Amino acid sequence: MASVEEEIGKLLREKGLTLGAVESATGGLISHRITNVAGSSDYYKGSVTAYSNEAKIKIVGVPEELIQRYGAVSFQVAEAMARGGRKLLNVDICIADTGIAGPTGETPGKPVGLFYLGLSHENGTFSRKHIFQGDRLQNKEQAAETALAWLREFLQSL
């Protein structure tokens, strides 16, 4: 059975689409998994690991006001990361994540394990909220897996 990354590659090739990623809390794990597929350079253009707010603002183009108003871990910022990445990387689809991997970083209303995923395509920019229950590494892995599964689902819907 093909992995989710292989299925994504097949769908991107079939549809003639390119992909990029802007990662924060997953720290490059999504990109790592996508590039584990031989021939991924046909459709995968690159990524930015925008871990700091400064990188999100200065490199990806997330408006500083969004981070100040909603916090870096918010659907607004996840969507802005995906939109900014699509433009910056000049790709058809960009997947993004921002979250609190743990074990620290919890704030009122934002528990450890909270992640927002963003996806941007010419048809629109979307986000999804998830709360994972693992340790730091498990949360990162679950976020990457969930982002890839969503990307596959989105590609299948096109």
Q: Is the pLDDT of residue 1 over 90?
A: no
Q: Is the pLDDT of residue 6 over 90?
A: yes
Percent of the chain with pLDDT over 90: 99
Q: What is the pLDDT of residues 56-97, one digit of tens each?
A: 999 999 999 999 999 999 999 999 999 999 999 999 999 999
pTM of the entire predicted model: 0.97
Q: What is the pLDDT of residues 35-63, one digit of tens each?
A: 999 999 999 999 999 999 999 999 999 99
Asked if 90 and 82 touch (Cβ cutoff 8 Å), the reply is no
Phi, psi (deg, nearest 5) at residue 27? 55, 30
Amino acid at 54: E
The total of structural domains in the chain comes to 1
Q: Classify strands 19-23 and 44-49 as parallel, antiparallel or unpaired.
A: parallel
Residue 104 confidence (pLDDT): 96
Give the SS3 label for residue 104. coil
Q: What is the pLDDT of residues 100-125, one digit of tens each?
A: 999 999 999 999 999 999 999 999 99
Q: Any idea what the CATH number is for the domain that residue 50 is in?
A: 3.90.950.20
Whose tokens are 């003639």? That residue is 16
Residue 8 confidence (pLDDT): 98
Query: How far does the chain reach from its first CA to its final CA, in angstroms?
Result: 22
SS (H, E, C) 30-82: HHHHHHCCCCHHHCEEEEEECCCHHHHHHHHCCCHHHHHHHCCCCHHHHHHHH
Domain that holds residue 147: 4-157
